[in-house]
Amino acid sequence: MIPNRQMVLEAGNRVAPFVHRTPVLTSRLLNELAGAEVYFKCENLQKMGAFKMRGAINAILQLSEAQKKAGVVTHSSGNFGQALALAAKNLGVNAFIVMPSSAPAVKIEAVKAYGGLVIITEPTLEARERSAVSIVAEKGAVFLHPSNDLNVIVGQGTAALELFQDQPGLEYIMGPVGGGGLIAGTALAAHYLGNNCKVVGGEPKEADDAYRAFKSGKIEYNKSVDTIADGLKTNLGDINFPIIMELVSEIIRVEEEEIISAMKLIWERMKLVIEPSSAVPFAALLKEGKKFKNKKVGIILSGGNVELTNLPF
């Protein structure tokens, strides 16, 4: 199902009181380097440091009072867990966050600080899913998937919705591709409000399941995910994949050194703290410069939750 225009617009109005309307920034130097007019939508400055706050709020707000009372549950190694915990706290809802034992301690503590009830499992997807299912059965909580839930997807698209409102006339809009929630939501916003703006995803070559899925027409999986872009190691889902296939123009793969170089440029030149995943679409723009020459390009800087003790430069 492709959500309609009304769903996209309603999501924008629904989340507005609960999220920051993040700024859109530009850099003359980066424009010169890219050969394009680039407009960065700074979701690294969003509450809890990432765009995922939008999808979490949008999904919870559409639950019934009985469902809210029972609480929500997700499994996440980081950003969506933090987003759901904070969104739930702001709305007076219990949030059960299943996290792997391998998750960074700083992320586990952040979820707890936001009021999330953390359940630690073995570091396998099967263990996380099993634990989430048992919480649904025991507590009656509603399971919300980090990227493969329609209300979450439409919520994530509100970042692009704001970008189109603030910067009309974009010819391309770019975002990173991991689980597919952000790029699918962005594509929906572009479809209804972008005035023929093309949607392009950026993806690490070391975790290129979406690129391969785009070519094969079916969901693909990664045998290994040896990328610095830790937020992009997950797979597409059966809800977001059809949206991506229909509405995304292209997915561009980038090498690890290209991600690091793009990340460093944004830190140095724009003084913005972004995580590696955020740098992927800008790396894709720099890599395929000829395609975007003299074009107006929007880029979603997806988040800024980076471990400062583990920078790649």
Catalytic residues: 52, 77
Neighbours of 308 (CB within 10 A): 7
Q: What share of the chain is helix, strand, coil (3-state, %, to 5)?
A: 50, 15, 30
Question: Which two structure tokens, joined as six digits, stand for 310?
Answer: 């583990």
Task: Give Rg (Cα) of the chain.
Answer: 18
Helix (H, G, I), strand (E, B), or coil: what is residue 165? helix
Question: Which two structure tokens, joined as six digits, stand for 214?
Answer: 């785009």
Instruction: Please tell me the distance from the alpha carbon of residue 90 to that of residue 47, in angstroms, as a whole number.
Output: 11
Instruction: Please tell me the distance from the alpha carbon of residue 234 to that of residue 18, in angstroms, as a whole number.
Output: 27
Question: Which two structure tokens, joined as six digits, stand for 267?
Answer: 């830190």
Helix (H, G, I), strand (E, B), or coil: what is residue 181? helix
Asked whether 168 and 196 are in contact (CB, 8 A), the reply is no
What does each C-alpha distance from 141 to 68, 122, 144 come to in angstroms? 8, 21, 9
What does each C-alpha distance from 303 to 50, 73, 78, 234, 279 come to in angstroms? 4, 22, 12, 16, 9
Asked whether 296 and 35 are in contact (CB, 8 A), the reply is no
